[in-house]
Structure formats: C-alpha cells, structure tokens
C-alpha cells in the first residue's frame, strides 16, 4: 500500500502542476498545446516497449508491438506537427 | 533501477518545462523541443533497462509508427488539424488498451497475487482507452466528413448509454477478481468501444471543439491509468499533465459557448423552443453593399477589425484577408483580429490558420481584450462567422445561444458582414446584427468578396 500512496501522491501533485502550467497558455496557442500534450500522452510508448521487449509470450509481444507502433505515431507525429505549427507563429516588426 | 528512475524524473521535468514554454509564442518552439527531448530520454532509458531482452519487435513497431506519424504530421493541412489531433488521441488510447491487456496476460501466466492497484488500474486503462479510441475515431469521421457531422439523436438514447456504462463497469469489476481475468478485460474493452462510439455520435456541429478537448483529456487519463498498472512515475505524471490540459480546455470551450459539460454529453435536455422568425428580424431592414462602398469606408477608417469564423477557412479566404491587411497598414490604418474561443473546429484553431498566412501573432486578439475596443473601431469585417457575433446571445433565455459570450461587433461604427446569404449558423437562429442600422451585408463567397475588396481598395483613390 505504501507504493500506492507514493504514486498517488505523485499523480495528484502532477495534476496541480498541470493545471498551474496550462492555465498560463494563451488561447492563441491552444491548438499547439493540444497537439503537443497529445505527443506527451504518447508516453504510453514506454509501457509498450516494456511489454514488447520482455518476450513473455507471443501474445504480449504482438500486443506490445502494435502498441509501440500506435504510440510512436502519437509521439513522432505529435511533436512534429506541433513544431510545424509553432514555427508559423511569427511577429512582424 | 535508480538510473532509469532518475531518467524518468528528468523526462517529467522536461515535459513540465516544455508545457511552460507554451505560455508565449516566443518560447513555444523551444518548449516543444524540450518536451521532445524529455520523451527521447524516457524512451532511451527504457530501452537500456535490463528487463528488455529483445529489440527487433520494438524496432519494427517504432519504425512503422514513426514513419506514419511523420507522414501525417508533414502532410496535414492546417484546416485538417482537428481531425488529426482526434486520430492521434485515439492511437494513444488504443496503445493503453493493448499495453494493459498484455501486462495482464503476462501477470496471469506468472501467477501470484498482482494486487488491487494493478487490477483496478488495468481495468481502468482498458475501459478509458477503448472509449478514447472509438470516440476519437468517430470524431475523426465527423470532422473528415465521413460520418454526418450533425448530432445523431434517437429515442431512449440516455437509457442505452447508462446501460452500456453499467455493463462496462461490471466487466471492469469482473476483470479485477482473483488474479485478474483476461476475458472480462477484453469484454470491458469491447463494451467501452461501443460506449465510446455512442458517447460521441450524438455530439456534433458547433460542439466539435468541446469533443476534441474532452478526448484529449481521456487520452491523458488512459496514459495515467497505464502508469498505475506499471507503477511507472513518468507515465503517471505525463498522463496527469495531459489530463489536466484536456479538462482545462474542455472547460474553456464550454464557457465560451455557455454550455455545461453534461449538457454537451447528454444534450437534448430542456430543448429550446424556436420562436424567432427570420422575417420579423430581417424584413426590409437588411442593407446590401458593394466592394466599392466598403473600400471607401476603409479608406476613411483609422481602425479596422476582422472577425473571422470557420467559414473564412472553408472558403480559403485567408490570403486575400492578409493582402488587405497589408494594404490597410500601408495607409497607416490599425488592423487587428478579434478571435472568439470557438472560432474554428478546435481550441485555438483560428489562430493557427491566420499564423499560417503570416499574420503577425500580436494582431490576434482574444475576445476579452478586443471587446472593449469595438467602440472606437471604424469598420469591423465579419467574415464567415455568425453565431459568435449574434446579439441575441445577450438575452438571458429563449435561444440556443443565450448567455454565450460574443464579440460585441455591433458597437463599432460600421459592421460589414461577408456572407453568401442570410442563412443561419449552427444555432439555427436569425441574427439581428444583419438588420442593424450600422450593418452592411456584402453577399458573396468569402474568398471572392475579399478578392473584390482588395481590388476595389487598390483602385479607390
């Protein structure tokens, strides 16, 4: 139970940090915020790598591999498209 | 073990710093790169961990996924950004379902008591992930025009949804019994999938930005749940950050439309009775204008504000808008853009569309800051927007948009509305703005009207 309380603490504190940080993002950047945070939610890739790499059974390898592919779309596509969008925001003198 | 956990802490810090960078367009590019660096560190640390004994399948999945992601990201048009974000959200949800399913199967083979936290988190991952995946696919279909975008409602809708939810929760509960039950796990995922479809299909039209934001929140929660399955801090922290972001944006979108979230999700409660007749409002009071007349008005103006809606993007009128902006500024006229939070198909969408056209971001003003300036604005050009400038929203009740915050364009000296006809917007109600004394209607396709306006402005002496 100790470890549960520990990660629950992390979870709750992270929500507060998230709200604090994200409420400072101006509306003009809300689309890049969504695509960028979407890329971060591709962190499931870490979990997918663990399941695909442990080679426990065929089933877990197959599920893990598909999960790696899906999460990679999320991570690579997310960061790349956010970069593409953000580089369009310019200020003219 | 210490090494990998330190790497995860570093990655989490970089994610937070990355999001912090998004607080200003100047620092945003670096912020995004910071986040990407955090992701890179988390992935490399995981790969180096000694529990990973085989790389070929990981490599296969990663190469395929990365290539697909890169192609999407480089090819997608800025107008299609909402459906792409929807799709990506869905993939994140699906990945959570598969990871939790794989880990559960493995734990059962290994035997032993996996513990309550593991089992509950696994069931939650499967359920939330499945809702996210299928909900996102439906949202993608609607935005892409594959499925009808108008709300699909049917009799007994709420009962069906509640029954499905109970069924999904029951399957999730059975998943957590004993050492865990894989069959019930996939059952929960299956029922969750149907639920995801049925929760999204009744939402549509003007509510799409809310759906996208909500799915964003779901994908974060799914990632956090997977973090609880694996006892993995970086998944939990990232999931919490993304979940917070999604909930925050959902709230902003709901506020911008004066809707409550339950009302968007379950809708149809206390439907508004339609009493406003278009003829009573427009009868004989609408004045049509010509590009030449508008050009003359612009010549005499000192301050001009554009109020763009998604109709501008549909007509691909951004380029002539930018050209006219440059012409006006050359003559020393102040130009700004008033952007309603729900302009476009997802939060902040309109800003991206205008930034793509090289319009300086300091001219893009949010509703609250531009509303006070309409009083000293000579000409407002409303292009492809309707409900967000409808003064009926100020009435406390009686219309679908009552209480919705709007752009107070009617306070300007002259309002020019570029529109093909007097057809209503998503809300389906007439707009008294079009009949005001200080409003002129320029009836045409947005792109053609703007091109004519640019030409007329250049010719006007």
Looking at per-residue pLDDT, the higher value among B378 and A57 belongs to: B378
- Count of CB atoms situated within 10 Å of the CB of B265: 17
* Chain B residues closer than 8 Å to A60 by CB: 102-103, 105-106
Asked whether the beta carbons of residue B106 and residue A60 sit closer than 8 angstroms, the reply is yes
Tens of pLDDT, residue by residue over B220-256, are: 999 999 999 999 999 999 999 999 999 999 999 999 9
Residues spanned by the domain of B14: 1-75
Judge if B262 and B284 occupy the same domain. Answer: no
| Domain assignment of residue B64, yes or no | yes
Structure ipTM: 0.96
| Domain assignment of residue B271, yes or no | no
Judge if B149 and B1 occupy the same domain. Answer: no
Judge if B317 and B223 occupy the same domain. Answer: no
Judge if B311 and B216 occupy the same domain. Answer: no
Q: Is B387 a catalytic residue?
A: yes
Judge if B241 and B371 occupy the same domain. Answer: no
The chain B residue lying nearest A54, using CA atoms, is B52
To test the contact with chain A by mutation, choose from B28, B44, B325 the residue with the greatest count of A C-beta atoms within 10 A, namely B28
Residue B433: DSSP 8-state = G
Q: How confident is the model at residue B1 (pLDDT cuts 50, 70, 90)?
A: low
Judge if B255 and B290 occupy the same domain. Answer: no
CB-CB: which of B222, B244, B351 is closest to A31?
B351
| Domain assignment of residue B164, yes or no | yes
The chain A residue lying nearest B249, using CA atoms, is A30
Work out how many domains chain B is built from and give that number: 3
**Cβ pair A47, B99 in contact under 8 A:** yes
In whole angstroms, give the CA distance from residue B32 to residue B23. Answer: 11
Judge if B444 and B414 occupy the same domain. Answer: yes
Asked whether the beta carbons of residue A41 and residue B23 sit closer than 8 angstroms, the reply is no
In whole angstroms, give the CA distance from residue B306 to residue B308. Answer: 6
| Interior/surface letters B267-289, b for 16+ CB within 10 angstroms, e for the rest | beeeeeeeebeeeebbeeebeeb
In whole angstroms, give the CA distance from residue B402 to residue A25. Answer: 28
* Residue A15, pLDDT score: 96
Please check whether residue B99 touches A, CB under 8 A: yes
Judge if B40 and B145 occupy the same domain. Answer: no
* Residue B267, pLDDT score: 62
The chain B residue lying nearest A65, using CA atoms, is B61
Asked whether the beta carbons of residue A29 and residue B22 sit closer than 8 angstroms, the reply is yes
Domain ranges within chain A, ordered by starting residue: 28-86
| Domain assignment of residue B322, yes or no | yes
Tens of pLDDT, residue by residue over B137-167, are: 999 999 999 988 777 878 888 899 999 999 9
In whole angstroms, give the CA distance from residue B348 to residue B370. Answer: 16
Judge if B65 and B205 occupy the same domain. Answer: no
Cα–Cα distances (Å) from B219 to A34, B78, B182, B281, B404, in that order, read 11, 22, 22, 45, 28
Token pair in block for residue B365: 């003003």
* Residue B55, pLDDT score: 87
Asked whether the beta carbons of residue B18 and residue A40 sit closer than 8 angstroms, the reply is yes
* Residue A93, pLDDT score: 63
From the list B309, B262, B286, B339, the residue with the least C-alpha distance to B427 is: B309
* Chain B residues closer than 8 Å to A47 by CB: 95-96, 99, 103, 226-227, 229-230, 232, 235
To test the contact with chain A by mutation, choose from B7, B12, B22 the residue with the greatest count of A C-beta atoms within 10 A, namely B22
* Residue B269, pLDDT score: 42
Which candidate in B387, B437, B444, B445 is catalytic?
B387
Tens of pLDDT, residue by residue over B66-108, are: 999 999 999 999 999 999 999 999 999 999 999 999 999 999 9
CATH number for the domain harbouring residue B335: 3.40.50.1220
Judge if B109 and B237 occupy the same domain. Answer: yes
Judge if B311 and B454 occupy the same domain. Answer: yes
Residue at which a domain ends, from B240, B266, B292: B266
Residue at which a domain ends, from B227, B244, B266: B266
Residue B375: DSSP 8-state = G
In whole angstroms, give the CA distance from residue B181 to residue B198. Answer: 26
Judge if B309 and B368 occupy the same domain. Answer: yes
Residue at which a domain ends, from B10, B40, B75: B75
Asked whether the beta carbons of residue A31 and residue B23 sit closer than 8 angstroms, the reply is no
Number of H helices, E strands in chain A: 5, 0
In whole angstroms, give the CA distance from residue B186 to residue B191. Answer: 9
């Amino acid at each position: 139970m100790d470890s549960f309380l520990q990660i629950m603490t992390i979870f709750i504190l992270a929500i507060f940090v998230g709200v604090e940080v994200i409420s400072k993002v101006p509306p003009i950047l809300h689309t890049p915020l969504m695509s960028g945070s979407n890329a971060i939610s591709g962190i499931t890739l870490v979990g997918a790598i663990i399941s695909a790499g442990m080679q426990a059974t065929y089933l877990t390898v197959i599920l893990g591999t598909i999960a790696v592919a899906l999460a990679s779309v999320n991570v690579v596509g997310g960061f790349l498209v956010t970069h593409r969008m953000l580089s369009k925001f310019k200020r003219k003198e | 073990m210490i090494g990998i956990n330190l790497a995860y802490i570093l990655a989490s810090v970089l994610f937070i710093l990355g999001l912090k960078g998004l607080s200003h367009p100047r620092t945003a590019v670096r912020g995004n790169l910071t986040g990407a660096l955090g992701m890179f560190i988390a992935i490399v640390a995981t790969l180096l961990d000694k529990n990973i004994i085989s790389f070929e399948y990981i490599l296969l999945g990663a190469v395929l996924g990365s290539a697909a992601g890169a192609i999407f990201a480089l090819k997608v048009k800025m107008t299609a950004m909402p459906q792409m974000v929807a799709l990506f959200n869905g993939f994140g949800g699906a990945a959570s379902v598969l990871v939790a399913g794989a880990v559960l199967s493995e734990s059962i083979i290994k035997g032993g008591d996996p513990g309550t936290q593991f089992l509950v988190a696994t069931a939650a991952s499967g359920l939330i992930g499945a809702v996210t995946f299928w909900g996102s696919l439906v949202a993608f279909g609607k935005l892409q025009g594959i499925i009808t975008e108008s709300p699909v409602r049917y009799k007994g809708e709420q009962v069906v949804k509640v029954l499905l939810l109970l069924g999904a929760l029951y399957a999730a509960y059975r998943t957590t019994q004993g050492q865990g039950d894989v069959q019930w796990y996939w059952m929960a995922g299956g029922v969750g999938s149907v639920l995801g479809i049925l929760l999204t299909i009744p939402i549509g039209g003007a509510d799409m930005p809310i759906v996208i934001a909500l799915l964003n929140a779901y994908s974060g929660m799914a990632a956090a749940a997977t973090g609880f399955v694996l006892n993995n801090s970086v998944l939990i922290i990232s999931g919490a950050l993304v979940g917070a972001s999604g909930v925050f944006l959902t709230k902003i979108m709901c506020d911008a439309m004066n809707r409550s979230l339950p009302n968007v999700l379950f809708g149809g409660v206390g439907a508004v009775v339609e009493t406003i007749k278009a003829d009573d409002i427009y009868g004989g009071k609408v004045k049509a204008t010509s590009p030449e007349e508008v050009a003359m008005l612009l010549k005499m103006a000192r301050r001009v504000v554009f109020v763009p809606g998604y109709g501008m993007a549909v007509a691909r009128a951004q380029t002539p808008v930018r050209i006219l902006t440059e012409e006006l500024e050359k003559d020393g006229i102040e130009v700004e853009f008033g952007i309603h939070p729900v302009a476009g198909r997802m939060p902040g969408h309109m800003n991206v569309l205008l930034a793509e056209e090289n319009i300086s971001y300091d001219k893009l003003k949010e509703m609250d800051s531009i509303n006070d300036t309409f009083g000293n604005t000579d000409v407002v050009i409303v292009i492809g927007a309707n409900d967000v400038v409808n003064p009926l929203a100020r009435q406390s009740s009686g219309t679908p948009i009552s209480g919705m915050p709007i752009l107070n364009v009617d306070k300007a000296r002259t309002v020019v509305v570029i529109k093909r006809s007097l057809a209503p917007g998503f809300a389906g109600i007439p707009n008294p703005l079009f009949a005001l004394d200080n409003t002129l209607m320029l009836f045409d396709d947005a792109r053609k009207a703007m091109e004519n306006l640019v030409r007329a402005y250049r010719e006007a002496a």
